[in-house]
Amino acid sequence: MNYKYLIYGLKVESEFEIEEAYRKEFDAEADVRVVIGDIPQEVLDLYENSGNERSSVAVTKEAMIFRIDGEAYFWVTKDVITIAPFEGSNMAHIKSYLLGSSFGYCFFLRKQVLLHGGAVAKYGKGVIVTGESGAGKSTVSDALSDKEYLFVSDDVCAISFDGDKPHINMAFPQKKLCRDAALKRGYDLSELIYIDEDRDKFALRLKDGFLPEGIDFDYLFELVFTEKDTLSFKEVQGHEKLMLVLRNVFRGEDTFRIWGASPEYMQLCLNLASKVRIFQIARPKDKDTLKEIVDFIDSTVKG
């Protein structure tokens, strides 16, 4: 039995169940197939001969293989993701690498843009909160739900274009929060799903309050740390908008190092940067500024 889903705006057919994903039947051919199976020996040789260490990769122009010790090999092309699990592997961990890194590389091969951040929507506007690690992307995105923002995506945001208008596609209806953030937000940890032993994260699967078809993309907010004691906000303009988009591409550091950035991909990022308003929010490291950040985003989006 094959399972059918809408993931990141793509029609996905999988040989195993992905409980996190949004079920959606379709008759057309899948955009991406997820299969469990053996990886050709010449592909494994490509990896073994690359001299890479744990979690590193080997690539061709149109594909990638990477290995996660104790879990699986992942062979990614633009339309097929093949997983070869190891004996004793954890399926929850495998799905995490499938929905994260594997789809991230798949999108790059498909020449589509993925941004690292959380997406929400209100007032008919689509909003992505991005930023450096630990800056509070997931916490801010989750807190916006208190102001009746609807969920679109958590951690990874897939962008497509309807004509000239960029569109945020829903990933799958699940939020992820680290332990401290979940407790601060008042969640009962016993009601959440423990998903990440390495980074101590929890998941909340949503039954409602999300947008399966996504939302047009209007605002991008980047969270960064500052050594100053006060919160600051600025609207980003000009060439800096493109630089901000590029540094927040999901798995961008890896993909740009491996494949470079084609003129076609750069044009997509440039087009995206020109179509949305972009703000940078600089927050002190050791000060709770969540309310002020959420209020600023809400007032800006409301206009």
The pLDDT value given to residue 215: 97
CA 202, CA 218: separation in Å to the nearest integer?
Answer: 29
CA distance 266 to 111: 10
Any idea what DSSP says for residue 299? H
What is the C-alpha R_g of the chain? 19
Q: Is 276 helix (H, G, I), strand (E, B) or coil?
A: coil
Strand 215-226 relative to strand 125-131, pairing = parallel
Q: What tokens were used for 102?
A: 């594997």
H runs (alpha helix) in the chain: 41-48, 91-97, 103-109, 137-143, 179-184, 239-247, 252-259, 263-275, 290-302
| Cβ contacts of 65 within 8 Å, gap of 6 or more | 39, 43, 44, 46, 47, 57, 58, 59, 73, 74, 75, 76
Q: Identify the pLDDT of residue 55.
A: 46
> What single letter denotes the amino acid at residue 196?
D
Q: Number of C-alpha atoms within 13 angstroms, CB side, residue 177?
A: 22
Round to whole Å and give the CA distance between 130 and 63. 27
pLDDT of the residue at 302: 97
The pLDDT of residue 261 is 85
Q: Is 130 exposed, middle or buried (0-12, 13-18, 19+ CB in 10 A)?
A: buried
Does an H or E element contain 44, and which? helix 41-48
Q: What is the CATH number of domain 113-302?
A: 3.40.50.300
Q: Check residue 160 and report its DSSP letter.
A: E
Instruction: Record the pTM.
Output: 0.91
| Strand stretches in 48-155, DSSP E | 57-59, 64-68, 72-76, 80-85, 113-122, 125-131, 150-153
How many Cβ atoms from other residues are within 10 Å of residue 208's Cβ? 7
- Distance separating alpha carbons of residues 65 and 63, to the nearest angstrom: 7
What integer pLDDT is reported at residue 13 of this predicted model? 98
From start to end of 132-185, where are the E strands? Answer: 150-153, 156-162, 165-169, 174-178
CA angle, 30 then 206 then 224, to 5°: 90
148 φ/ψ angles, rounded to the nearest 5 degrees? 70, 30
pLDDT in tens, the chain (303 residues): 799 999 999 999 999 999 999 999 999 999 999 999 999 888 888 777 766 554 467 888 889 999 898 999 999 999 999 999 999 999 988 998 999 999 999 999 999 999 999 999 999 999 999 998 888 898 999 999 999 999 999 989 999 998 889 999 999 999 888 888 888 888 888 888 887 656 788 888 899 999 999 999 999 999 999 999 999 999 999 999 999 999 999 988 888 888 888 899 999 999 999 999 999 999 998 899 999 999 999 999 999
pLDDT of the residue at 53:
53
What pLDDT is recorded for position 192?
83
Q: Looking at residue 193, what is its pLDDT? A: 84
Q: Where along the chain do its domains lie?
A: 3-109, 113-302
Q: Quote the CA–CA distance of 12 and 6 in Å, as a whole number.
A: 6
The whole-number pLDDT of residue 254 equals 81
Give me the residues paired with residue 114 across strands: 158
